[in-house]
Structure 1
Amino acid sequence: MTIAARGQTDVGRKRDHNEDSFLVDEGLGLFIVADGMGGHAGGGTASRLAVETIQSRVRVAREAEPELFTSPAPLEESSLREVLRDAVESACQNIYQAAQGDPALAGMGTTVTAAVLAGRNTYIAHVGDSRCYLVRRGRIYQVSEDHSLVNEQLKAGAITPDEARHSRFKNIITRSVGFEADVAVDMVGLEVDPGDRLVICCDGLSNLVDDQEILEVAGGTSLEAAPGKLIDLANERGGDDNITVIVVHIG
């Protein structure tokens, strides 16, 4: 298996600063999108701390147990899942502690959607409403599940999918990293195939560009051009939030 990835972020058309952070680390096989919240200083600080902490913890784990990455166990047996979960939990604690020490950062938090790949094994850690999609053989699958008020209403049958797309509550999330000292991290494991692509993005993209359009761009555009083309689509439709996209190609 080979991995190639490209990531890009943009402030959008309505915001005066960018609170998103992202990581493309092909050497670690680690890819992260974090969408921060909590004021002008807090959101950017939270997302940056999340990315830095997760990368550091995964790197330490690889140095201690390189076989986790070079000779991975079967998907359901690998402890890499717990390495990634622990890394996100550590990020949560670091962000929370940083906020306690600085009133300007009080209440900050961030979404986190992180994927780590080792051979065919892929693990996704997810908190919030940033997303991970799998593009495979002309189809797109949303791997993560939004932790949002609108998604809770949708699952309960209180609103329709169309109402969800246009809800004024669609930016309210029900879970974030760092707002409290601990967080429940959703974990998903899957086996990737050659030709698959992963798309990791914040809601600045998914609120304005639908799944079919993401499929068409991510599946039918060069890896180098895909993130920028998706960002352009979101900006053409108003760009009302920061927009961050990573596209990962499995060769």
Structure 2
Amino acid sequence: MLTSSLAILHDNSSHGEDNYLTRDLGDGNFLDVVLDGVTGHGGDEASGSVADGLNRAAISGPEDIVAVLEEMNAEFHQVGGGRFLLTTASAALYLNGRLHIVSVGDSPIYVIRPDGYEQYSGRMGGLIRLGVSKAVGAEATLSVFQTEAELAPTDRLVSCTDGVSDNLLGDELMQIVRAASDAEAASEQVKTLVDQHIEQGRDIRFRGGRFRHDDETAIFRFFAG
């Protein structure tokens, strides 16, 4: 069974609509969730409500996460009609030696390994755009992405919102996290680079050629055997 340490980057100063959740489920098991409320569409209330729902729920498998998301989606869609109360939700559940990923929307999750990385949801550097139709609350029927992955003691897990991923390239994130001495160092170095990019303003490698101000949230988790 793996053990892990974590650090959290959370800067909600742009819109105040990101949320996150980390839960220690015992015996090395955990749940990490990042949520990016859609700006101008009740995103702060939506992301906070989903985080609260997942924090209260009994979690014994990925199906419990899906059940909460479907319940919240039905409630949001009934109240907001698909135009209000919208949020992404990307969850990384480590349970009994397996990593389960459950995602709605474009908040990415990465497993960074010694020789590369895998992106299991979302986008990086603004190159892939999933519309708000994929958000919790947007449609009467929720579309949920699910997959599983193996983890090794040398792997590192990053879950983040697009305020981080739209302002970094995948290779930049991989290099920082792989070289960092611990999760806290990775969090600090990513925050520094994101801020530098935003101050710089433009880069043709990124969507629209411009870095952008947004809420920034990322959960960094480093593993040991």
TM-score (normalizing by structure 2): 0.81
1:126 counterpart (79, 103, 111): 103
Report whether the alignment pairs 1:243 with 2:216. yes
- CA shift in 2, pair 1:4/1:215, >3 Å: same
In structure 1, how many angstroms separate the alpha carbons of the residues matched to 2:38 and 2:18? 9
8 A Cα contact 2:177 2:186, kept in partner: yes
Q: Secondary structure at the residue paired with 1:189?
A: strand
Cα distance per residue 1:153-182 (max 9 Å; x no partner): xxxxxxxxx9x74x9xx5844410122343
Which residue pairs with 1:25 in the alignment?
Answer: 23
Q: How many residues are treated as equivalent by the alignment?
A: 206
Q: Give 5+ residue unaligned stretches, structure 1.
A: 63-79, 152-161
1:90-239 correspondence to structure 2 within 5 Å: 90-97=71-78, 99=80, 107-146=84-123, 165=127, 170=129, 172-221=131-180, 222-238=182-198, 239=212
Q: Secondary structure at the match of 1:18?
A: coil
8 Å CA contact 1:99–1:106 kept in 2: the answer is yes
RMSD of aligned residue pairs (Cα, Å): 2.6
Identity %: 27
Structure with the larger strand share: 2
Quote how far apart the aligned CAs of 1:111 are: 0.7
SS at match of 2:154: coil
Deviations 1:209-247 (A, max 9, x none): 011111111111121121232122112111511111111
What residue is the counterpart of 2:69 in the other structure?
Answer: 88
Q: Is the 8 A contact 1:11 1:242 kept in 2?
A: yes
Matches within 5 A, 1:67-82: 80-82=61-63
CA shift in 2, pair 1:38/1:10, >3 Å: closer
SS of residue matched to 2:135: coil
SS in 1 for 2:37: strand
Contact 1:231-1:245 at 8 Å conserved across structures: no
- 2: distance between equivalents of 1:134 and 1:61? 22
Contact 2:43 2:86 (8 Å CA) reproduced: yes
| Structure with a larger share of its residues in helix | 1
Code of the aligned partner of 2:213:
D
Q: Structure 1 length as normaliser, TM-score?
A: 0.73
